[in-house]
Structure 1
Amino acid sequence: MTKILIVDDHVSVQESLSTAFDAQEDFAVVGTCSSAAYAPLYCEKLQPDLVFMDVRTEKGASGIEAVETLRRQFPKLKIIVMTAFEEVTYVPRARQAGADAFVYKSRSLSFFIETARGVVLGETFFPEPRAVPVPTGEAPLTDREMEILRLLCRHMTNREIASELFISENTVKYHKANMLAKTGFSTAVDLAFYMISNGWINPLY
């Protein structure tokens, strides 16, 4: 029997997943939690085998950051990250944080169950992230460029970005120049505004 903890601040999601998994002979939901900040405490107490972790939870607690913490504290724990938002950096960030799978909430409950069974068996599942349309028709932005762009959208300076990513300021400037050349924007501020206003990047999570 696989024990499941659901971390999501929407009661409807908690109830839907609980009902779906409790109806299966091989799963049992042992608890629900509204904030990713408390996930380690719940895991310590309930000892689940699998955690469903929402990207954005109560009071702004980051599910992706919680994944990193859980992976360090509970190395054998299986973690599936989920979200209702198609923000372009969520999938690669969840993978890098140590998640075993990523599922959009628009998928069916049967897909959630199928994915959970695969993860329990050691499989991984990460959908292809949305490709950002490049107005000039040049090559798409690279993973590193997207990483830098996400930090730009958080109003970080070149020095702060360099420190965050352990690279030089000149490398940051090089990637910014490439991004502007590819997208046709004249400044990084304009590019960041475009990404945020069109929902491609959420600077808060």
Structure 2
Amino acid sequence: MIRILIAEDQAMVRGALATLLDLEDDFEVIASVGNGLEAVERAKVLLPDVALLDIEMPKMSGLEVVEKLRSAVPSCRCVLVTTFARPGYMQRAIKAGARGYLLKDAQVEELAAAIRRIVAGDRVMSPELMMAAMECTNPLTDRESEVLRLAAQGMTTRELARTLCLSEGTVRNYLSETMSKLSTNSRQEAIKTAESQGWI
């Protein structure tokens, strides 16, 4: 029996997924939660075989949940299910250790088959998302992405420098480089562009 935890903030979608997957003879939905933090907490206790995760959830994103569970519950295979065909999300999901990345508009039979393949040791990615990811690579380094991600939270240059243990001049250089790489004229434009691609 494949034991599944579902984390999805939309109650109707969460309920439908749980109902449909429970109909499979070899599946058991052992938990269904509405935010990322609860997903991590329940997974630590219940030790599911598979965690089916939405990307954008309250308290903790699906990508953050994947990173947490990789060390907290290494036996759990994480599968991201999303409506967002943003190439950067897939790249970050693979880097975080996700075993699957699928679009929500897939048929339940496709999802069930993907879960079985993932439990058997495969990695399953949506072909549409694979094509988008190959066509659009993130030009930012890990450090530039980190600086921009924190800037998107409203941090000033001084706060960024203190948080990252860098000088304010170095932070300004990173921000200037991100604006140049993304062909934008301001920090806010750079943040907007990077967010639209799923790079931060």
- The question of a shared fold, defined as TM-score above 0.5 by the shorter chain, is answered with yes
Q: Percent identity at matched positions? A: 28
What amino acid sits opposite 2:69 in the alignment? L
Counterpart mapping for 1:59-138 below 5 A: 59-126=58-125, 127-128=129-130, 130=132
Cα 1:182/1:21, change in 2 over 3 Å: same
Secondary structure in 2 matching 1:80: strand
Structure 1 counterpart of 2:16? 16
Counterpart mapping for 1:176-191 below 5 A: 176-191=175-190
Secondary structure in 2 matching 1:64: helix
Check conservation: 1:91, 1:129, Cα contact below 8 A: no
In the superposition, the TM-score normalised over structure 1's length comes to 0.72
Check conservation: 1:3, 1:29, Cα contact below 8 A: yes
Q: Following the alignment from structure 1 to structure 2, what is the Cα–Cα distance between the partners of residues 104 and 202?
A: 18
Say which is worse superposed, 151-160 or 2-11, in terms of deviation: 151-160
Say which is worse superposed, 59-68 or 168-177, in terms of deviation: 168-177
1:95 CA drift (Å): 2.5
Which structure carries more helix by proportion?
A: 2
Secondary structure in 1 matching 2:154: coil
Which ranges of structure 2 fall in alignment gaps of 5 or more residues? none
What amino acid sits opposite 1:115 in the alignment? A
RMSD over aligned CA atoms reads 3.5
Check conservation: 1:89, 1:146, Cα contact below 8 A: no
Check conservation: 1:83, 1:103, Cα contact below 8 A: yes
Deviations 1:132-181 (A, max 9, x none): x99xxxx9624545555444433345566577778887775555444433
What amino acid sits opposite 1:2 in the alignment? I
Which ranges of structure 1 fall in alignment gaps of 5 or more residues? none
Q: Following the alignment from structure 1 to structure 2, what is the Cα–Cα distance between the partners of residues 155 and 200?
A: 19
In the superposition, the TM-score normalised over structure 2's length comes to 0.73
Cα 1:117/1:192, change in 2 over 3 Å: same
What amino acid sits opposite 1:62 in the alignment? S
Q: Following the alignment from structure 1 to structure 2, what is the Cα–Cα distance between the partners of residues 31 and 40?
A: 11
1:10 CA drift (Å): 1.9
Cα 1:45/1:150, change in 2 over 3 Å: closer
Structure 2 counterpart of 1:141? 139
Q: Following the alignment from structure 2 to structure 1, what is the Cα–Cα distance between the partners of residues 184 and 70?
A: 39
Cα 1:160/1:116, change in 2 over 3 Å: farther
Check conservation: 2:92, 2:199, Cα contact below 8 A: no
